[in-house]
Amino acid sequence: MAEMMKLKVITPERNFYDGEASMVEFTTTEGDIGIYKDHIPLTAIVAPGVLTIHEPEGKREAALISGFAEILPDGVTILAEVAEWPDEIDYSRAQEAKERAERRLQEKAPNLDVARAELALKRALVRLDMRK
C-alpha cells in the first residue's frame, strides 16, 4: 500500500474534500496525471476531467471542471472553480449543454468561438461521464 498524503479540494463555495489519499488522478492541460506521495513540487492547470481519489476504502470520483493544482511532496491542493460529486450533477442540464455545444460546432457559424464551444462540450461530457 502506498503511503498516504494530504489532499485538499477547495471551491469558492465550500471545502469540497479534505482528507488523506494514497493516489490522486486528474486531468491537467497537459494530459492525465496520477500523483503519489513525494511528488516533485509542481503547479498545473486543471482541465475538465474526472478527479479520482484513491482512499484506503476504495475509489471516489468527482467531476473537476476548472482550477489549478499545487502539488508538494507531502500533499496536493486543488483550488477548483467548480467541482461536483456524481450525485450533485444536473444531468439533464449537462445533456442540453452537450447538444447545444455539438450543434454549434457542426453549424460552424462564421463568428463561432470554437475554443469556447469545445470547452463547453468537454465540460458537459465530463459531467455526463459521471453517470455510471
Give the binding site for other proteins (CB under 8 A).
Answer: 8, 10-15, 28-30, 40-45, 67-68, 70, 72-73, 77, 79, 81
3-state class (DSSP) for residue 89: coil
Nearer to other proteins, 81 or 88 (CB): 81
Nearer to other proteins, 39 or 100 (CB): 39
Residue pair 107/99 in contact (Cβ under 8 Å)? The answer is no
Distance CA 60, CA 17 (A): 11
Instruction: Quickly count: other Cβ atoms within 10 Å of residue 60's Cβ.
Output: 15
Nearer to other proteins, 77 or 102 (CB): 77
Closest contact distance (angstroms) between CB of 42 and other proteins is 5
Closest contact distance (angstroms) between CB of 97 and other proteins is 15
Closest contact distance (angstroms) between CB of 106 and other proteins is 27
Distance CA 86, CA 59 (A): 13
Buried b vs exposed e over 71-107: b needs ≥16 C-beta within 10 Å?
beeebbbbbbebbbebeebeeeebeebbeebeebeee
Nearer to other proteins, 70 or 102 (CB): 70
Closest contact distance (angstroms) between CB of 132 and other proteins is 28
